[in-house]
Structure 1
């Protein structure tokens, strides 16, 4: 088991015996939702820890190192992101960052597992107020839909400027979110100029998964960018993939539209995102 009562620690084990662990003071909650096993812990120095099927989703102290990088680079690269879709992201952190952009008129979050939303609302200090408004239907610019993101995107008549996939790794309910078929659906549901972003796993330990996703996206999008960032709680550096529809240059962002207070992503140093280990970059460029 990743959690050791004797050692008071939670360790997520990655391939080849690599682990990321936290000292834990107590287990707060655990349940089997309709889709996955959900656990919540109080850590010694990083606030609460959310775990799904044995994998770390976030810790409260430092969660912005993931959410800011998933959201703001694409929002600032798009010339006018008015309509945004978030698939996954039941903790609310991604949508919280999206709504920091004044251009956004409508944002939709589609989360398959209602249990993640409920646990995040009850236990996490990530986006509690936002989740409260969403659950009550009182958030004017955003809407929460409990449902399958793949099916939603396939059937919706909506069109989006930015699509953000905040999912678990490509296994179980999230596997279809990394398929060429899903990428084609996403491309169709983007406006004439649009951006799609997804996390793509550990650069060093999920390299094959990164390559597979990159290869599939290149078959669909007009241009695909890759970048990495150190995320607290993950086997960093963590990789991200951006698909472009139209003539958007993702290497350039509008710094003037950046939210006032960011902790990790620095729009004025946007170019630093694109650093990638030489051997990984060479593998990607062969695709």
Structure 2
């Protein structure tokens, strides 16, 4: 797994010998942060590539295929998403999409690894201007907190309309973000109505992790939805889970509010297409209900 200098390629290997790779021109930066190994590459056709502990996090060309789908479906399904919490998301892409919604009065981003924020600001053209304002504390609607999202959620006195978890896969520092205890803390800190969303891994290759997370969320939230989307750079289709507190129908979004958004990948007018899931995966997910 990783950079192959001989072939000028970066390949992330998934289970059973499946890989996702990019041709690269050079490695721009690498470091060992307090939490993980961080690398940034310049690819041949997709801009710069961010890698954490050998796993692809994003490429600049097409990163919206992840960030838009993580953010806008829940924001448009909530009747008034004025207070938003983002856990993780140190590259700034998720918060950038959140702030496209004029209803947002306050957004908090809690990122455990300051090194991700710094490297993203210095090297990536994803949310550079936003990260600069956050670092300088000049963004009036948003705050950056460097800290443990699990601890923050447990201890904060704030309540949120939408909680978005933009994390790495459920290993290392992100493992607790997929626990039933964490889901219970999230449910408690949601307003009523409230929506919670997390990425949940590759539909085909991380199916058991998706099922485990879905069943844990079912024990906590009033309703849980699953959906998938093809994300550039990931072993797609990629899965997402949405937890509901109160009376919100995630199958419906506000198309009037959506008109003011400039989107490339997520299509609010075709929101129902998110819910297509391979038959055997859907049956596995629903077998424990």
State TM-score, norm by structure 1. Answer: 1.00
* Residues 23 and 44, structure 2, Cα contact 8 Å, conserved in 1: yes
1:167 aligns with 2:182: no
Per-residue CA deviations over 1:81-120 (Å, capped at 9, x if unaligned) read 0000000000000000000000000000000000000000
Alignment-derived partner of residue 272 in structure 1: 273
Alignment-derived partner of residue 43 in structure 2: 43
1:282 aligns with 2:280: no
- Superposition pairs of residues 96-175 of structure 1, within 5 angstroms: 96-175=96-175
Q: Following superposition, which runs of at least 4 residues in structure 1 exceed 2 angstroms of deviation?
A: none
Task: Tell me the CA shift for residue 260 of structure 1.
Answer: 2.8
Gaps of 5+ in 1: none
Other structure's SS at 1:276 match: coil
* Residues 231 and 238, structure 2, Cα contact 8 Å, conserved in 1: yes
Other structure's SS at 1:170 match: coil
Alignment-derived partner of residue 61 in structure 1: 61
* Residues 100 and 261, structure 2, Cα contact 8 Å, conserved in 1: no
Q: Tell me how far apart the structure 1 counterparts of residues 255 and 120 of structure 2 sit (CA, whole Å).
A: 31
Other structure's SS at 1:85 match: strand
Q: Tell me how far apart the structure 2 counterparts of residues 273 and 37 of structure 1 sit (CA, whole Å).
A: 33
Q: Tell me how far apart the structure 1 counterparts of residues 192 and 255 of structure 2 sit (CA, whole Å).
A: 23
Q: Tell me how far apart the structure 2 counterparts of residues 191 and 166 of structure 1 sit (CA, whole Å).
A: 20
Question: How many pairs were matched up?
Answer: 287
Other structure's SS at 2:283 match: helix
Other structure's SS at 2:239 match: strand
Q: Tell me how far apart the structure 2 counterparts of residues 91 and 2 of structure 1 sit (CA, whole Å).
A: 20
Per-residue CA deviations over 1:164-217 (Å, capped at 9, x if unaligned) read 000000000000000000000000000010000000000000000000000000
Q: Tell me how far apart the structure 2 counterparts of residues 229 and 7 of structure 1 sit (CA, whole Å).
A: 30
Q: Tell me how far apart the structure 2 counterparts of residues 112 and 141 of structure 1 sit (CA, whole Å).
A: 20
Q: Tell me how far apart the structure 2 counterparts of residues 253 and 285 of structure 1 sit (CA, whole Å).
A: 24
Over the aligned positions, Cα root-mean-square deviation in angstroms equals 0.5
Other structure's SS at 2:90 match: coil
Q: Tell me how far apart the structure 2 counterparts of residues 254 and 126 of structure 1 sit (CA, whole Å).
A: 26
Other structure's SS at 1:69 match: helix
State TM-score, norm by structure 2. Answer: 0.99
1:220 aligns with 2:236: no
Q: Tell me how far apart the structure 1 counterparts of residues 160 and 247 of structure 2 sit (CA, whole Å).
A: 16
